[in-house]
């Protein structure tokens, strides 16, 4: 992963870990940083530290991820 993508991943993961809580409604944007937000939400939901989220994607690409 290149340095720019590592920075985007760090920002996306930080946003999820800091601001997203179980039971929230979350708007999921589009773009290279949003990809890492979706990735982190998926990780946290699989491990059970996030539950009952309602996520609304802003694009087909985000929905498919």
CB 43 within 8 A of CB 17: no
SS3 24: coil
Distance CA 32, CA 9 (A): 9
pLDDT (0 to 100) of residue 9: 98
Helix axes 3-19, 32-47, angle to 10 degrees: 50
More confident residue, 18 or 64: 18
pLDDT digit string (tens) for 36-63?
999 999 999 999 999 999 999 998 888 8
Closest Cα to residue 35, out of 56, 1, 5? 5
pLDDT, tens only, 1-28: 999 999 999 999 999 999 999 999 999 9
Looking at the predicted structure, is the pLDDT value of residue 34 above 90? yes
| Domains of the chain (ranges, CATH numbers) | 3-64 (3.40.50.1360)
């Amino acid at each position: 992963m290149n340095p720019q993508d590592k920075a985007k991943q760090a920002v996306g993961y930080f946003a999820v870990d800091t601001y997203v809580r179980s039971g929230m409604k979350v708007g999921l944007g589009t773009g290279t940083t949003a990809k890492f937000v979706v990735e982190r939400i998926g990780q946290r939901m699989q491990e059970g530290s996030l539950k009952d989220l309602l996520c609304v994607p802003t694009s087909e690409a985000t929905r498919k991820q």
